[in-house]
Amino acid sequence: MANQSFVELITPNEEQKTTLIIIGVYILAILILWNVPILKTILYPFKLVTVALHEFGHAAAGCCTGAKIEAIEVDPEEGGVTRMRGGSPCCTLPAGYLGSSFFGALMIFAGFDVLASKVVSVIIGICLLATLWWARNWLTRGVTLLFIGLIVVLWLVKDAVGLKYFVLFMGVMSCLYSLWDIVEDLVVRKVNESDATKFAKYTGCCVPQFWGLVWFLISLVFLAAAVLAGIAVFRDRASASGPGQ
């Protein structure tokens, strides 16, 4: 009975099936745009804001462990850096990848419901405002202001239905970018100064690839949990409200 109840809980209704299809379409579209040279520019601002959230993850962990945040910078090559004094590297180093994965998962979860999308968009907006406060170059300021503006506009248009799909897209983008960034840093490019490399040096335990794999698996768990939780939590609400409500 318990197993049957759990299966029923995570069985999507018709509206949620549509949301799952949209997530699949987003994934396919992002993968295509990512790998077609001319079309890559469409994703460029979304990549930059995802990098900004990655750096905010470092900064937030730094604040929680007593660091003084000096600057957040996003560069045109889709990289970023957070400069801080103090804090615990054990917390701040994983917080970039895991933070952006967590934010992505949170946005995917919220993408199953309009009201939840509104709440999460406020949270993301606050994170972007904090990033703007710490920003020390105009690209970072411009990207954060652009996306804060988009959130505000979508809040005001057609009962914020568009906000739901925007938040969902941002969630998929953030999760995919985080997952791919881990693979690219440690397998494709083998970046010497990746977060995983620094973490391995700091802990003196295991190779960077091990920590990259651990973070990759945690990110996958975030993604799967977000989808299942979105279905379970909003299943009855979606059934009662109907599409677009």
pTM, whole model, 2 decimals? 0.90
Contact assessment for residue 168 and residue 26, using Cβ atoms and an 8 Å cutoff: yes
Please give the Cα distance from 91 to 64 (Å, whole number). 9
Q: How confident is the model at residue 184 (pLDDT cuts 50, 70, 90)?
A: confident
What are the residue ranges spanned by the domains of the chain? 15-241
- R_g of the chain, CA atoms, integer Å: 18
Above 70 in pLDDT, residue 216?
yes
The pLDDT of 20-27, averaged and rounded, is 96
Considering only 1-10, 119-128, 138-147, which range has the smallest mean pLDDT?
A: 1-10
Residue pLDDT, tens place only, 135-146? 999 999 999 999
